[in-house]
Amino acid sequence: MNKLIAVSGGTKGIGRAIVEEFVAKGFDAVVCARNRAELTSVKNELEQKYPGITVLVQATDMAVKEQVKAFAEYINSLQRPVTVLVNNAGYFVPGEIATEEEGALEKMMEANVYSAYHLTRGLVASMKANKGGHIFNMCSIASIKAYANGGSYAITKFALLGFSKCLREELKQDGIRVTAILPGATKTASWDGVDLPDERFMRSEDVAEIVYASYALSSRSVVEEILIRPQLGDI
């Protein structure tokens, strides 16, 4: 039976690239996103491109606790060990703390932090029982560097890095590795409308490749943080 990777927010950008990187290496995948049609498209495309693998999908709004828990329950119902969990779901809305829209912090905390917290809690017991697994949390340059107009997004990404550090300490004796991914500007839909050349951005595939490389290390080693920036620097 193929190993299994679970990815939240796996139909676009970095999440989509990570799904394909692991599927190309022989993993089955279980993927969630809000848009059911996009999930079906990803499933059909990858299963056709990589015969012998299975992509399972479930429409999920990762900002809604009940739906996150339902996604975890669906994964557990497969009765297959999760080898890799990628907490990728999240979004960015620019703004300043003093003037951003009311509720911006709460909404981004739900999507960017609570989603990872509840999905991990839903799956970690089975990972412990299997004495192994690898959890990747999609943090950001904004997890370590405050910047103008970062507002609540930066707050949530600082929190997600703290979550990763706590998980690392809690799970290392169980053979479960935890890695925080801190990518800089990557060419995804978040940057649509920005008038900058593609060379100023990283490729989603570059992030996916280094995620797989970190997973592929022996169980005696863990990459705790991956900091990856565009060659020409931050935007």
How far is it between the farthest Cα atoms of the chain? 52
Catalytic residue among 50, 74, 114, 153: 153
74 is annotated as an active-site residue: no
DSSP 14-67: HHHHHHHHHHHTT-EEEEEES-HHHHHHHHHHHHHHSTT--EEEEE--TTSHHH
Residues in the chain: 235
Spell out the residues 6+ positions from residue 162 whose beta carbon is closer than 8 angstroms to its own.
none
> Is 151:107 a contact under the CB 8 Å cutoff?
no
**57: phi then psi, degrees, rounded to nearest 5:** -135, 150
> Is 55:31 a contact under the CB 8 Å cutoff?
yes
The whole-angstrom separation of Cα 1 and Cα 26 is 10
Which tokens in the block code for residue 30?
Answer: 């279980």
The whole-angstrom separation of Cα 149 and Cα 204 is 23
Residue 136 C-beta-side C-alpha neighbours within 13 Å: 31
Q: Which helix or strand (DSSP H or E) is residue 4 part of? A: strand 4-8
Q: Which residue has the tokens 């004796």?
A: 173
What are the residue numbers of the active site? 153
